[in-house]
Each structure stands twice: as structure tokens, then as C-alpha cells.
A and B are shown apart, each in its own frame.
Chain A
Amino acid sequence: MEIKGVSFSYPDGNSVLKDINLQIKPGEFLVLLGRNASGKSTLTKLLNGLLVPNDGDVLVDGLNTRDQNKLLSVRQRVGLLFSNPDNQLVASIVEEDVAFGPENLGLPSTEIRQRVHAALAAVDMEKHRTDSLQSLSGGQKQRTAIAGVLALRPRYMVLDEPTAMLDPLGRSEVLKTLISINQKEQTAIILVTHFPEEAVLADRVVVMDGGRIAWSGFPQEVLTDPVRLNSFGLEAPEIVLLARELKDRGHNLPPVLEIDSMVKLIQKYRDNLKED
């Protein structure tokens, strides 16, 4: 996916994106961070031709989103998902909802069945196959919505704050699902989020500010710099903040992003202190 010199303004003249250049490889797991109104959501809508840039081009596997004749192929390649699962579920039963997309592609029924089965397996919702959507938790609903997109076999999956409305359990369910889809199905994931800790396992983190790409790097560099994150209106993961507080107290530990590694580091550090 190639975003080349893209600028975008809404009809009221409010300029939202300015000269965005970004390449996303098939199979990549990319996280987009940024404060409110930094342009993240607008960018996601440009990726599948829901919006078309004023300047520059968005190319999906070489297909230009400006080209009306290619729009259907673009949308088959790029699946889009939003925060509120209730706004994007169309049926009343889990498997019927997941089948909605493939049915509209006019696929043979055996193929539809296969795809629904595989998609539900990928989001770990097989045992809720025949459940009513009403009876599901927020996390389960969002996983069903993800399965609905997955059943279309997109090469890229773009998710705009899919965990914003979920409780911590639902959030971790959805995040685990995305990581497993990325690893097993090789689907590229483009995840927009307010939660920097969701970027820990990404291949790359892109920070947006004022409609521009302000910073891009590995999670290990971006997430471990609380001062710079703050300057873009973001908060570092709590583990990183803990490491900084310990440093201020004279304990210089190498930066880590996960709880396990932090615990081990402190234990090792303490053993060394004891030997001194």
C-alpha cells in the first residue's frame, strides 16, 4: 500500500492531512498513534477509497483509489473496521453476520461456509456460531465484526480504535485476535489507537500530529521515549513510566515494554546489588 504526497481537506476547508508519505507492506503490523484531531481517522478512510485525496495518490497493490472502476477491487483488498461494533453488525445471529460479506460477493455456498468457519475460528468465536448478537459482550461483538471483515479475505485490515469502547478484557481479546490474524493469515494490520501499550507488539509505530507524520519507528524506540510522546499528546505505557521513575531514583534499568521483562530486570538488578 502506497500513500504518496497525500493531502486532504474536508469541504469546510479544514485541512486535515498534509503531505503524507507512507508505505505499508503486505503482512505488516502497523500502529498509528496520535491525539484527537491529528488526522488518524481521516487517513484510515483514505486507505480504502471511502475518501479520495485532494492531492497525491493512495495506491493499493498498484490500484489507485481515485479510479472508480477499481474501487470494488480496492475495497476487497482493504477491510475497514470502526470503534462501535453495534454500528457495523447487520444480522441477528453470529454466523449470519459473518456470511453477509461473502454472500454479497456472490460466492458458491460451500465457499461461503468455509470462509465463515475459518473466520470464526480465527477470532475464536466458533462456539458462539449460532448465538444471538444481542447476547454477546462488547469484545465478542467486535471479534464478530472482525470475522465479518476477515471472511472477505482482505490483504489489509484497517481498524480505527477498535478497542475504544471495550473493557480491559475485551481489549486484550481483540488485540490478541489481531496479532494472531496478522501472524497466521499474513493479513496486514493497520491499527489506530489511543493506547500506546497496544503498539508494543507492532512492527512499526507511526505517530501523527497536526495532519502530518511526526515520528515513525520501532515500538522499542517510540514507546520508550515518554518526553517525546508527551509532546505529541500521548502517554508512554505504564511500564516505561515506571522505569523512568526508577531511573530518577538512581536505578538505571534498560528500557523494556513488557511486565515480565520488567520483573526479571528488577530481580536481576537486585541480585547484583546484593553481591556488591
Chain B
Amino acid sequence: MPIVFSEVGYQYAQGLPWERIALRNINLQVEKNEMLGIIGPTGSGKTTLLQLMNGILTASQGQVLINGANPANMRGTEMTRLRRQVGLVFQSPEDQLFENQVYDDIAFGPRNLGLTGSELDNRVKWAMEMLELDFASLSERKPQSLSGGQKRRVAIAGLLAIDPEYLILDEPGAGLDYEGRLILLSVINKLCRVEGKGIVLVSHRLQDVFGTVDRVVVLVDGKIAMEGSPRDILARGEQLEELGIELPASNQVLQRLTDTMPQVSLGMRGVVEVAGEINRCLRSKL
């Protein structure tokens, strides 16, 4: 069952003099087995949109249906069940690690679901394996003693251990180094392609978004300004730039080449494809 937004609006401080419109008229659907990327400048409403997806916020206008149910009508236990279906990974989730051992931190969620013994063990092992964290060497370590990238993956493993249907990730790669980001992206990819999770990925690193997701939503001033496959959106680079969003460097090169090489196709995803397209044009002396 998908997450469906119908004509959703959201205002902070609704009805007060300092009311601020964060989202307007959002129509959007997220399916399981799908990776959706959300990009947009700071303040465009990305975080608000994510918080509407698991009931932390409820819509001011329109409705959000998560697996057919509306969080606006939910009470305590129903809401808890919803949060198990839709896991939200905040920015810098490692700030929320609190146990003394990696194992206990990841086990916290499933323990609350009533898992014990070998069932709990297996769940923690599975989550660690998915996040490429070695159980034997890491499960008894203090989270604080791990590298930044490992800490972040422990935090995500804690959420995955609840086995949600959707994982929503807000800037999961921010502040990580190159290797940390690469591992994380491959993990996210695996969670969708192998485990069938629905993934929503928000990131300022457009290379990461365009290279990973199936579909991109561009959010500007609380509205959906563009929507399409990564190639569709990259092919409309000028429109993106008008919206204040900078294309990845190799796509900028391609865009600029169209001045003198009008036959260049723009919808290229990543450096390798861009190089292939430039090569094609050079070879055929276009």
C-alpha cells in the first residue's frame, strides 16, 4: 500500500498572526519497491513533507493516506503502528544513539515490539548485516567509539530493526566522507532493490539523488515545481537553474556545450553517461 498525498497543505502556527505556509497543494504518491528523491533549496518544505509521511505532522489541508489510513484520525496505538510502518531517519541520527553497546541500541526498537531471545538476536544481526556493520567486531562496541559513518549506520540499523515498510532519510550522507557516503548509498539501494522497502531520499548532493532514485520531486517554496525520472529532470537543467538549483558539474558542462553543439542530449545521469554523450558528439563531429 502506498503513501498518498492529495492536495496537501501545511501551515506552521495556523491561525496565528505569524502563520507561515510551508506546503501547498501537494499531490504525491510513494510506492513500496520504489526510490523517490526529493530535492529543493533550504526552506522549500522538504523536512515538513517528510514529517507528514509518518504522522509527526498532520496535514492542514487535504489528506495523507498511509496504507489507506489517515494519521489525522489516529490515536495512540494506531499512531505507534504507523510509525512502525514508516521509519523516519532525521538529520544526524547518530546524535540519538544512547545505549552503551551497539547491540542494545539497535535492539531497543524490536525489544519494544516484544522480541526476545534468538528472534531478537536474529533481527539485530539482520539489521547490522544490511547496514554492512560487522556483528562480531562491532556489536559490543560503544557507539561513541565508532567512526562517523559507522555511527550513522548504527542509527539507521536501529530503525531498520523495527522492519518498517518505508524508510525516509533526511540528508543521510551529510558530513560523511567519500567512503562513508558510498557505503551508505549502496546500503540504501539494497534496502529497496533486495528488501523491497520504499525509500524516500532527501539530499543536497544532487549527484547522489540522481544516481540512485527512480523518480525525483523538486520542491520550491512549498510547491512541487518539477517531477519526473532523473533523466527527465536533468534534461530540463535550465529550468532547475531558474529555480535556484545547481546541476552537478558534468551536467553543467553538457548544458553549456549546447551553445555550440546543439545536438547534445542533456538527460545524462552521472559522469560516465555525460562522457559517453560528449564522446558520441565528438566522434560524429556534430
Interface residues of A (CB under 8 A from B): 35-37, 83, 137-139, 161, 164-170, 172, 194, 197, 233-235, 237-239, 241-242, 245-246, 248-251, 259, 262-263, 266-267, 269-270, 273-274
Please classify the interface of chain B as helix (H, G, I), strand (E, B), loop, or mixed, using the class held by over half of its residues.
helix
Q: Mark B212-247, 1 if CB is under 8 A from A, else 0.
A: 000000000000000000000000000000001110
Q: Mark B112-150, 1 if CB is under 8 A from A, else 0.
A: 000000000000000000000000000000000001110
Residues B42 and A238 in contact, CB atoms below 8 Å apart: no
Q: Is B164 an interface residue (CB 8 A)?
A: no
15 A-B residue pairs with CB within 8 Å: A36-B149, A36-B179, A36-B180, A138-B42, A165-B175, A167-B42, A233-B178, A237-B249, A238-B248, A249-B275, A259-B249, A263-B256, A263-B257, A266-B278, A267-B261
Q: Is B79 an interface residue (CB 8 A)?
A: no
Residues B253 and A168 in contact, CB atoms below 8 Å apart: no
Residues of B within 8 A of A169 (CB): 41-42, 244, 246
Q: CB within 8 A of A235: which of B175, B178, B249, B257?
A: B178
Name B250's closest neighbour in chain A (CB-CB): A242
Residues of A within 8 A of B252 (CB): 259
Q: How far is it, in angstroms, between the C-alpha of A263 and the C-alpha of B261 when the chains are bound?
A: 11
Please classify the interface of chain A as helix (H, G, I), strand (E, B), loop, or mixed, using the class held by over half of its residues.
helix
Report the number of A-B residue pairs with Cβ-Cβ less than 8 Å: 104
Residues B257 and A233 in contact, CB atoms below 8 Å apart: no
Besides A137-B42, A235-B178, A242-B250, 17 more A-B contacts (Cβ < 8 Å) are A37-B147, A83-B175, A139-B42, A164-B175, A168-B204, A168-B206, A169-B41, A194-B178, A234-B177, A237-B249, A238-B249, A242-B275, A245-B274, A248-B275, A259-B252, A263-B256, A263-B257
Residues B250 and A273 in contact, CB atoms below 8 Å apart: no
Residues B261 and A270 in contact, CB atoms below 8 Å apart: yes
Residues A245 and B147 in contact, CB atoms below 8 Å apart: no
Name A83's closest neighbour in chain B (CB-CB): B175
Closest Cβ–Cβ distance, residue B186 to chain A (whole Å): 15
Interface residues of B (CB under 8 A from A): 41-43, 147-149, 174-180, 204, 206-207, 244-246, 248-250, 252-253, 256-257, 260-261, 271-272, 274-276, 278-279, 281-282, 285
Residues B177 and A35 in contact, CB atoms below 8 Å apart: yes
Closest Cβ–Cβ distance, residue A208 to chain B (whole Å): 12
Q: How far is it, in angstroms, between the C-alpha of A238 and the C-alpha of B210 when the chains are bound?
A: 14
Closest Cβ–Cβ distance, residue B268 to chain A (whole Å): 11
Closest Cβ–Cβ distance, residue A169 to chain B (whole Å): 6
Residues of A within 8 A of B176 (CB): 36, 194
Closest Cβ–Cβ distance, residue A81 to chain B (whole Å): 15
Q: How far is it, in angstroms, between the C-alpha of A161 and the C-alpha of B175 when the chains are bound?
A: 8
Q: CB within 8 A of A165: which of B174, B278, B279, B285?
A: B174
Name A239's closest neighbour in chain B (CB-CB): B249
Residues B274 and A167 in contact, CB atoms below 8 Å apart: no
Residues of B within 8 A of A259 (CB): 249, 252-253, 256
Residues of A within 8 A of B245 (CB): 168
Residues A167 and B204 in contact, CB atoms below 8 Å apart: yes
Name A233's closest neighbour in chain B (CB-CB): B179
Residues A267 and B249 in contact, CB atoms below 8 Å apart: no
Closest Cβ–Cβ distance, residue B273 to chain A (whole Å): 9
Closest Cβ–Cβ distance, residue B96 to chain A (whole Å): 16
Closest Cβ–Cβ distance, residue B234 to chain A (whole Å): 14
Residues of A within 8 A of B278 (CB): 246, 251, 266
Q: How far is it, in angstroms, between the C-alpha of A165 and the C-alpha of B136 when the chains are bound?
A: 33
Name A194's closest neighbour in chain B (CB-CB): B177
